[in-house]
Structure 1
């Protein structure tokens, strides 16, 4: 049933991600191997979710080219809300960063509020206002070490909550996220230089 509601797309509102899929987030639970039971989730900076391959375009920031992605981005956003609900008990915890296609699958990277607080001063202020997560937010301007987990959805079972399993991400995903972050940092530096020059 949940697979049908995921396809209930409201066309014409590609930038309104919460309205694009009008289905409520279903019941979902997260599992992990016993050896990861004491994993420090408060230090996770990024989450990678495996999705069905829907586009031939890859390796570009999803927040910059929403039109080219068609209906993929609302679907990713909904998957992110499901994972955030299961792992963090907070549907708003994850935010899309980018994706890469490998074979017939897409691996979509999301940032956590901990990473955004370190990367964006305004995000740090917002998170601290929430209270609960403020203690785990880095106070310095330096970015924390990358700590990425990888999420896979299990096959849905009739009448049962959707299950997903997470594990520390493979090195290739951490390396790709590092590459994206370095590229974005370089672009931001160039933008700041241009703005400073224009203000002279």
Structure 2
């Protein structure tokens, strides 16, 4: 399965695309950052973000999109921009009919590092190891995006298979009546 992980941000939005399956290391397909001009009008920045994400989607054709869920911070202005970027990221995947999922930062850290309280350095180190990269992806937004994609591969794929099995069982029970 190919997953596009997105670390949403209005100025820097990390994008990481990984091929893999649950329980396997996976392989990095692409990594990058979509940047917008902080001086530009908000609508232009959101459009630039959408254009940049669409270019990654069209070039790499992922089967799913995973986005880091926005969490409350002390800086309300930062949270609002991140939430707007998150909405654009989810819309970009949904527009193409791709399944989308969100994960909290602690879910991503736990999936990749084994601890929901891991720091950025630990996440980057584990992403580098898991994907067998020669050097750490930079900037941190890019490494985080790869971590989000890995989290979805390892957790989201399993969740989807469980949900499908439950649906099949429900259908069989309904058919048997």
- Band the TM-score falls in, shorter-chain normalisation: 0.3 to 0.5
| Structure with more of its chain in helix, by fraction | 2
What is the TM-score with the length of structure 2 in the denominator?
0.34
The structure that has the greater radius of gyration is: 1
